[in-house]
Amino acid sequence: MNPYLYMTKMKLLLSMNYRFDFFTKLAVQVILLFVTSFFWKAAYRGIDTVQMVNEQQMIIYSVMSIVLASVFTASVESNIRSKVRQGNVAVDYIKPVNVFWMYFAEDIGNMVTNIIQRVAPVLICASFFIVVPKPVSLAHFLLFLTSSCFSFLILWLISALVGLFYFKVIEMGPIGIIKDYLIRLLAGTFVPIWFFPSSVQTVLQFLPFIYTYQLPLSIFIGRTSLNDALWGMLIQILWVLIFFALFVRLKNHVERNILVQGG
């Protein structure tokens, strides 16, 4: 079997084993689902449309945001972190594969598991109790899917870039958490950027964050027209290329002098 396919499969099987883990994660997801929908219902009380988005659209936005967040996993960074700390990274480099393709394959495995295990329950729960998250049209839905793939690539590359730093500094504490908080705020995962002051919005246009969550989500609810969606995806591709170029450069630099500590 192709070694990458095998790693994807192993990750899939492994994560199915942790059933208790699965239920608690699901519980967190369901709590989030209800809290955000109640939150927006309270905010929209007596108000019809804000920034061209109505209550229904906003709730679909947050449901799909939770769905995306549960699909997108990039464990590459924490993977490198723990492996560098314990010295296991040396073992990975002995394997006759490209190390980063291996990490990527593992994350794809995680993602497939997440789609099976987490997306379905969240969507079912949302449809029964909150709202049926229906895309505006088939075209919007297809663009949403494509755009989400690019989003994943951007997020994965950011995560991998942060991971590369661990080779250099060995331990820098919760820097990954800072990155996660930044993405959570600036990518519009909870509150879309269109509610922010216009100057902030202009600045964020030139940063990669809104192209990770907000773009696919606003395509899904139809706030972004099909034409704008295509332009947005072009910018997404641009960011993927920029991050990939950066990643390759940094990787080559880092791999030349890897320090293995631990046993």
Partner 1 sequence: MKTLLRYFSLAKYFLKINIQCGLEYPSYLISWLISNPLQFFFGIITVKVIITNFHALEGWSFEQIAFLYGLGIISHGLSVVFFIQTWYIDYMITDGEFDRLMVRPLNVFFQFCFKDFNFVGITDMLPGLVIFIYGCIASGFSFTVINIIKILLVIIGATALRGAIYTISGSLAFWTKRSGILTSVYLTLFTYTTQYPVSIFPRLIQDLLTFILPLAFISYFPSSEFFGIDTGYRFMGSLSVWTFGVGIAFYLLSMTVFKIGLRRYESCGS
**At its nearest, how many Å lie between partner 1 and the CB of residue 108?**
25
Kindly list the distances between the CA atom of residue 209 and the CA atoms of 138, 150, 201, in Å, as whole numbers in the listed order: 26, 12, 11
The per-residue DSSP string of 78-147 comes to HHHHHHHHHTTHHHHHHSSS-HHHHHHHHHHHHHHHHIIIIIHHHHHHHHHHT-----S-HHHHHHHHHH
Residue selected from 10, 13, 16, 50 as contacting partner 1 according to rule CB under 8 A:
50
What is the three-class DSSP state of 242? helix
**At its nearest, how many Å lie between partner 1 and the CB of residue 225?**
22
Residues 7-46 touching partner 1, rule: CB under 8 A, are: 20-21, 24-25, 27-28, 31-32, 35, 38-39, 41-45
Return the CA Rg of the chain: 20
**How far is Cα 189 from Cα 217, in angstroms, rounded to an integer?**
9
Residues 151-180 touching partner 1, rule: CB under 8 A, are: 171-175, 177-178
Count of Cβ atoms closer than 10 Å to residue 135 Cβ: 18
Q: Does 47 bind partner 1 (CB under 8 A)?
A: yes
**At its nearest, how many Å lie between partner 1 and the CB of residue 226?**
26
Residue range at the interface with partner 1 (CB under 8 A); choices 47-55, 105-113, 160-168, 241-249: 47-55
Residues engaged in binding partner 1 (CB under 8 A): 20-21, 24-25, 27-28, 31-32, 35, 38-39, 41-45, 47, 50-51, 171-175, 177-178, 181, 184-185, 190-191, 195-196
